Amino acid sequence: MCGIAGWVSFHQDVRRSAPVIEAMTATMALRGPDAGGVWLGRNAALGHRRLAVIDIDGGTQPMADRPDRPQVVLTYSGEVYNHHELRDRLRSRGHHFETRSDTEVVLRAYLEWGDSVADHLEGMYAFGIWDEREQRLLLVRDRLGVKPLFWAAVDGGLVFGSEPKALFAHPEITPTVDADGLREAYSLLFNTGPTVWAGVHEVHPGGLLVLDRDGIRERRYWELTARPHTDRLEATQDRVAELVGRAARSQLEADVPLCSLLSGGLDSTVVTALVADELRRTQGPGAKLRSYAVDYSDQAEQFTGDVLRTGHDTPFATEAGAFIGTEHSTVVLDPRTLLDMENRRAVVVSRDSPIGVGDMDTSLYLLFGEIRRHSTVALSGEAADEVFGGYPWFHNPGALAAQTFPWLLVTGDDAAMPLAPDLAAHLRIREFRDDTYRSSLAAVPHLDDESPTEHRQREMQHLSLTRWLRQLLHRKDRLSMAQGLEVRVPYCDHRLVEYAFNAPWAMKNHDGREKSLLRDTGSGIAPDSVLWRPKNHYPATHHADYNTGLQQLAREALDAPHVRDIADEAVIKATLDTPADQLQWGHRLRLERVVDLALWLDHHRPALAL
C-alpha cells in the first residue's frame, strides 16, 4: 500500500517546478514510510510514497517502462491479487519483467491492453499512468472504492492524489469549503464524486478518468448489474463458500508480517479461520496467524447495550481465536486516551474531513498503531454486512417501508451535528436528502419479474454497497494508512459482490437470520457461539469519565474560530447540560462531531465561502 500524487499541465514545463510535486508527495509520507520518489517530464510529474509489502527491493516507484527516455510511467497504490496469473499471460505475449512486484504487472498490462487494463485486475488499487507517447493521463480506481483517489483541475490540466492534502500542497489549490461541500458532509449520504472541498473530486469506484489536450473524460468500467440467479440453494451455498475462500486465500501474499482483525463477530471470524487454515496448509501445521481485537479497560464492568451494540466483544473474540488456533491479542485501551487531543487531531488530519464517529475513530487509529508494531498487513471483515444483508435495516419492516436512506433511521437526528439556523436554512439538507434518495433508487438495476420483496431488498443492498460501504472503506483506509498499516478486505472481491447481489433474498436469510449464506460458509470453521451471535457494531467506551471529558472538549470547541458559524450553539449547549452519565450514544456523537469540526477548521484553515 502506498500514497500517490501527480500533476499534469499542458500550459507549462512542470520540470521547472520540481518542489511542487515533491511537496505533494511528502504529504503522503505516513501512507508510505519506507521510500519515496518523483518522476518529472515536460508536462507531467508523478510522485510516490511506498509502504513495501511485495518485492521489497524491486517495487520502486514511480515505475517507467524503460530506464532511458521512458514512454509510460506509473504511480500506483494497492494490491493486485491476480498478478501472478497476469504475469504469465503477459509473458506469453512477449513482455519481460525485471521485478516480482505487482506494480510492474500493472505497468505492462497497460502497455498490452491500454485503458482496458482495469478489466483484467482483481484487487484494491488506485493509480495514475502518464503516457508520453500520447500526452495522456489515465487515472483508475478499484471497483468497490477500497483505495481512495482524488483530483482537482488546475491551469492546463489537473492534480491528483491519494488524499486531498496532496492536492492542497499545489499552489493553485486552496482548501475551500462552500455550501455544497457542507451539504455533502452533513447530509451523511456519502456521495462519490463531490467532496466537502470545493473543486476537489473523487474518481468513482469502478471508474477511470482520462486527461489529454482535448480535456477531461470520465467513465465507469464496472458497476453492479442485475442478473438472473439460476443456482439452487445448495449450489449457492457452495458457490459463496468457494468465492469467500478464494478471496481470503488470494489476499495472503506478503513479504512482510501479516495478521487478521478478529472482533468476535461472524465476518472477521470466517476470514480469520480461512486465512489461518491456508497458512497451516502452505507453511506447515505449526504456522500461527496473529489476530487482534480491541477493548476498553472499563468494558467488562461497565458495558451497557445501545442501538448499535448488544454485547461485549472480547469473550467472543477470545473464544474464536482459541477455536481457530491463532496467536490472539486484545489491545486494551484506557478510555481517557481517547480524549487526548493529539490522538484526535491525528485522526481528523488523516480524514481531511470533519465527519467521523469520534471515539470509535480514535480507538481504531490507536489499535492500528499497536498492530503496526508487529505486522504490516491486516485482513478485515469489512463489507460482509453489505454483501450478505447483515444490517438491521434489511430486516426491520419500518426501515424497509421508510422512503429514506436506512442508516439515517438508526439514530435519527440525535447523532447529526445540528447546524446553525441560518446555515441550515440555506443548505436545505432535508430536500437534498429526498432528491438524492430518489435519484439513488433510479440508479438501482432490477429484473423485470422481481417480487416486491426482492425489488426492495435489491434497493437496500445497492444503497448499502454504493454509499454506506464507501464511508466505512474511507475510514479504514485513512486510519490504517496513517499508521503505515495495509488493511485488506476479502469481502470486497468483486466476483463475490456480483454473485451475492443477485442471489435471491430468500436465500440470503434462509435460516431466518441475517447473513445466512455467510453463516453457511462459517459452519464448522467458527464456534457456534459466534455463528449465531447477533450483529454487533464496532465497540465504544462506556466510561463515565469519557463522557465528562468529551463535554469539556465540546465546550472548548464551541469557542474555536468559525465553529459557531456552522454548529447550532443552542442545541450543543443543551446537550452539554445533560448529566454525563445520561448521555445517549447519539447525543455523544453529536458532541464528538463538534470537537472534530474545531480540529478540522484549525488544521486546514479552509476558506469558508458560505
What order do you get walking across the sheet with 44-50 strand by strand? Answer: 35-40, 44-50, 2-9, 157-161, 150-154, 200-202
Closest CA to 175 of 353, 424, 427: 353
User: Bridge partners of 127?
Assistant: 76, 140
Q: At what angle do helices 429-442 and 452-463 cross, to 10 degrees?
A: 120
Q: How far is CA 369 from CA 30, 422, 463, 509, in A?
A: 12, 41, 32, 37
For helices 585-604 and 569-576, what crossing angle results, to 10°?
A: 130
The rounded distance, in Å, linking the Cα atoms of 365 and 336 is: 15
DSSP-assigned letter for residue 465: I
Examine the residue annotation and report whether 492 is marked as an active-site residue of this protein.
Answer: no
Supply the angle between the helices 585-604 and 544-558 in degrees, to the nearest 10: 40
Between 266-283 and 314-324, two packed helices, what is the crossing angle to 10 degrees? 20
Q: Which three cell numbers stand for residue 593?
A: 462531531
From the candidates 2, 126, 196, 240, which is the catalytic residue? 2
- DSSP for 317-340 reads HHHHHHHHT-EEEEEEE-GGGGG-
Question: Per the structure block, which three cell numbers stand in for 443?
Answer: 440508479
Amino acid found at 398? G
Residue whose grid cell is 446553525: 420
- What's the rounded Cα separation, in Å, for the pair 145 and 165? 19
Using alpha carbons, select from 199, 202, 181, 193 the residue that is nearest to residue 427.
Answer: 181
CA nearest to 232, candidates 557, 580, 503: 503
Catalytic center residues: 2
